[in-house]
Chain A
Amino acid sequence: MSSFVSFTIIGIVLGSTYAIAASGLVLTYATSNVFNFAHGAVGMVMTFLYWELYVHQGWPVWFVLPFILLIVAPAFGLVMELLIMRRLTTANTTTQLGVTVGLMVALIGAGQLIWKPGGRRVDAFFNGSKVSFGVVNVTAQQFITLGLALAVALGLYVLLNRTRIGTAMRAVVDNRELLALHGARPNVLSGLAWALGSSLAALTGILLAPQLNFDHTTLTFLVVSAYAGAMVGRLKSLPLTFVGAIALGLLTEYGQWLYTELPTSWITDSEGVIYGLKNSLPTIFLLGVMLVLPQEKLRVGRVTGTKLPRIPSWRTTMLWSAALLGGSYLLTGAMGEANNARFGQTMCLPLIMLSLVLLVGYGGDVSLCQLSFVGVGALVVARGFDIPFTGLGFHSQISPLSIVTAFLLTAVVGAIVALPALRLRGLYIGLGTLAIAGAMDRSVFESGLVGFGAQGSTIQVTRPSWLSTERSFALAVVVAFVVTAWIILAIRRSKYGRILLATRDSQAACATLGFSTTMTRVAVFAMSAGLAGVAGVFFAGMSVTPGTLNFYFFQNLPLLLFAIVFGVTSVTGVLTGGFVYGCITSTFIVGQHPDLVGLAYIVVLVMLRLLVNNPNGLVGLLFDQSRRIMSRPDAVSAPPGSAAAREPYPATAGLGLEAPVGSA
């Protein structure tokens, strides 16, 4: 009984910290329409700064706390607003996601560069002194956390609903220009919101620090749990956000309590499933919230009409394929086996990203669980599979049969994931799929029953004898890339491809034309997941020992980021993006590579400058440039100012009728 009460208190306190983080998110979202994936990363950096000044430099706490919460963090928020967020308010969701994820990766990188990973700790406030209430003790830290959460909730509520500044903050997001016509300063208002949001992120990190093992990613991702709280308030309502956050804190701790009360035999018998479920409670909660959220209305009248890169002709495709294969053949011939292994692992990334072209590039959806599909593919090979009644099967072998099985099974998983995700759009689908990835990590990959085993486990797979060398398998990966690319281009050229583009441009328009956008999207999700599954088979074969760490949900973020930056709408884009990403981290584990920092910075900066109005990425920009240089006569036929030159024609124009959009 007393343990139940203790867990209740711990749950409420945990929920309070979530509430502080979540209200920061809600505040910035409500005033700028940008969902800040880097919210946790900001908190992380500020917490490390707190450690640096307070623990390491030994400054007095009464100075450090106000210094960070009232000066450094707000200043950081202001700079973020000025340089980045202001430009994102009107950008599409994929760009917003890409830029804020980029910022997050850059902050983690910067954090690791400045504060090398390693044992750090911060003491609780007042050295963990406690007050006893009969059966339970409550620490001073817990009191402070609870009190601060209430103060923040109340303060923000009053600010947003009871003051003119707050009203204006809510109005900024509706219509910035109109607010300026009212005589308010929109930039000052959104700056204020971001300053406050950043300060709240810092507060969350500092409050959580004493209870955590103090590392960059843990601190960053604790806030993922806060997303769930913010979702309960539908990113708008602060009171509901508060309730959601507390509920989540309680749920997490009651899960823990139940776990300690269960008979140990149950836990060992479940081979890690119960343990995994317990640990994925926050993500399951997030998923549940997304599912009961009222369905988002179709947005009418916001046709984006993104012009995709031209489809290459069959001849060009053929030439490039031959060049890629020939080049790889020569390269691997010149390198040793160790480098060939690295090359093969690097080439797995373009292969994985190809599946994103279909879903994100053509379909306009977002998936933050693509790597989990890759993991399912790898798992299928690694665990083996007996096909009932046929006597066919395979065990940890790469073979045509295992490839087909991985494709089919992953496609089914993709369709299952798509069903709940389909109700959502844009940002919500991003969060939903990230939650799915998180849940799969803990309850699938880390279970002994169906997964690789406890965190860190791997399973050995064997290659077919004729592909046993690193060189031959690396070449097999390249062949798989070429074949998949052909499949994707064939889809793009087909009537089906045009329907897909039409769905991306305007769901509402398609609905009025009588297409079932739902069926299209399920099919795309399944197909894309299937391709990712096949990539998983090759990944497993290339690494020989795939394991849980390869598919850690966090790695979905840089994966999508690099695809978007280099151009998720074209095969060339993902080839470059995947290759660059692969080179940075041929072991997939971003966290261990401080070298990523510099690049991530550049990536973010470049993205901001170029990509806000250019969803085709860097490669798309290059295409545009080269076409401009090569086809001068073309440009004359459509003089600037004519409708043709101004309007990027929406894909709906070519709907199943005449020539495909932009075909050569």
Chain B
Amino acid sequence: MSEHVNALDVIDLTAGYGRIQVLHGVSFSVPVGTIVALLGPNGAGKTTTLNCIAGLIDPMGGHVHIGGHHLNGAAPDRLARAGLCTIPEGRGIFPNLTVAENIDLFAFAAQASPKEIQERAFSQFPRLAERRTQLAGKLSGGEQQMLAMARALSSDPALLLLDELSMGLAPKIVEDLYEIVGEIGRSGVSVLVVEQFARRALAVAQLGIVMVQGRVTALGEPADIEGELSAAYLGGAA
């Protein structure tokens, strides 16, 4: 892989729902092997951006390149098999399947064998092993997020998209989950993580992007975007 190719390039992306435009020309890149935090207040369009990249929403305009390939309009399942792992907002699990069945489904996109996938998931999260026959919907919020994260760990993605890991979880659990994000990043995976709690995400990220009302207002190393960040959250930049 050439060093000049980014894991992800988003160029002048516009998108919306029906006639309502939500993204007004969003551009940023995720260099290979880095963790990038996409930050911003509620309704800024972070989830919309992620869904465009994952192929769940067709953008109105602009381009998405993953690993240098132009991938506008590709189906989400194709992207997933090509090495894009997306953990969506809310819990990315199937509540009516058991923990083991959820893990079994990881095999659709992963290169590793089903057995290997299961071993990796259970060794990283021993708590899931204890509850393997339980319905995933009956797990606690933290355990559900672990199960969702287990997919990222077991499928060796080229690019990992994470949306609001911390939603509704206790600080201690969020801490643990971000430790794992850091580990994944150190293993060479490029990560784009969307977060409301900027501090937590910036602690593991090498780069940060601030987004307000569908536009990128700041982009840079964590220290450089502090100012824009507080402005965004105080509503000053709106």
With a CB–CB cut-off of 8 A, which chain B residues contact A180? 55-56, 75-77, 80
Are A168 and B95 within 8 A (Cβ)? no
A–B pairs, 5, beta carbons within 8 Å: A170-B94, A171-B97, A175-B94, A181-B80, A181-B92
A531 to chain B, nearest CB (A): 40
CA distance A607 to B109 in the complex (A): 37
With a CB–CB cut-off of 8 A, which chain B residues contact A599? none
CA distance A175 to B80 in the complex (A): 16
CA distance A171 to B97 in the complex (A): 7
CA distance A184 to B155 in the complex (A): 14
Interface string of B91-111 (1 = CB under 8 A from A): 011111100010011111110
Q: Give A168's nearest chain B residue, CB to CB.
A: B105
With a CB–CB cut-off of 8 A, which chain B residues contact A164? 104-105, 107-108, 114
Any chain B CB within 8 A of the CB of A595? Answer: no
Per the 8 Å Cβ criterion, residues 193-210 of B in contact with A are none
Are A182 and B97 within 8 A (Cβ)? no
CA distance A171 to B18 in the complex (A): 28
Are B94 and A174 within 8 A (Cβ)? yes
Residues on A close to B: CB < 8 A? 164, 167-168, 170-171, 174-175, 177-186, 640-641, 646
| Other A-B pairs beyond A181-B80, A182-B105, A183-B81, 7, CB < 8 Å | A168-B105, A168-B108, A171-B105, A179-B105, A180-B80, A640-B20, A641-B20
CA distance A572 to B65 in the complex (A): 53
Given contacts A164-B107, A167-B104, contact A181 B76 (CB under 8 A): yes
CA distance A164 to B109 in the complex (A): 13
With a CB–CB cut-off of 8 A, which chain A residues contact B55? 180
B18 to chain A, nearest CB (A): 8
Residues on B close to A: CB < 8 A? 18-20, 54-56, 75-77, 80-81, 85-86, 88, 92-97, 101, 104-110, 114, 151
Q: Give B18's nearest chain A residue, CB to CB.
A: A646
Are A182 and B80 within 8 A (Cβ)? yes
Given contacts A171-B94, A182-B106, A183-B109, contact A177 B101 (CB under 8 A): no
Are A185 and B94 within 8 A (Cβ)? no
Are B20 and A646 within 8 A (Cβ)? yes
A268 to chain B, nearest CB (A): 54
With a CB–CB cut-off of 8 A, which chain B residues contact A174? 94-97
Output the residue of A174, A180, A182, A186 with the most chain B CB within 10 A.
A182
With a CB–CB cut-off of 8 A, which chain A residues contact B110? 183
CA distance A274 to B208 in the complex (A): 79
CA distance A170 to B56 in the complex (A): 21
CA distance A181 to B151 in the complex (A): 11
With a CB–CB cut-off of 8 A, which chain B residues contact A640? 19-20
Are A184 and B19 within 8 A (Cβ)? no
With a CB–CB cut-off of 8 A, which chain B residues contact A171? 94, 97, 105
CA distance A181 to B80 in the complex (A): 6
B81 to chain A, nearest CB (A): 4
B94 to chain A, nearest CB (A): 5
Are B92 and A183 within 8 A (Cβ)? no
Instruction: Give the residue of A167, A181, A185, A641 whose beta carbon is less than 8 angstroms from that of B54.
Output: A181
CA distance A646 to B105 in the complex (A): 37
CA distance A178 to B77 in the complex (A): 9
Are B105 and A177 within 8 A (Cβ)? no
Q: Give A171's nearest chain B residue, CB to CB.
A: B94
B78 to chain A, nearest CB (A): 8
With a CB–CB cut-off of 8 A, which chain A residues contact B88? 177-178, 181
CA distance A164 to B151 in the complex (A): 16
Are A177 and B19 within 8 A (Cβ)? no
With a CB–CB cut-off of 8 A, which chain B residues contact A167? 97, 101, 104-105
With a CB–CB cut-off of 8 A, which chain A residues contact B107? 164
With a CB–CB cut-off of 8 A, which chain A residues contact B19? 640-641
- The 3 A-B pairs of least Cβ separation, nearest first, read A183-B109, A183-B80, A183-B108
B130 to chain A, nearest CB (A): 21
With a CB–CB cut-off of 8 A, which chain A residues contact B80? 180-183
With a CB–CB cut-off of 8 A, which chain B residues contact A179? 77, 94, 105
Given contacts A167-B105, A183-B109, contact A178 B75 (CB under 8 A): no
With a CB–CB cut-off of 8 A, which chain A residues contact B108? 164, 168, 182-184
B215 to chain A, nearest CB (A): 17
B95 to chain A, nearest CB (A): 7
CA distance A175 to B105 in the complex (A): 13
Q: Give B93's nearest chain A residue, CB to CB.
A: A178
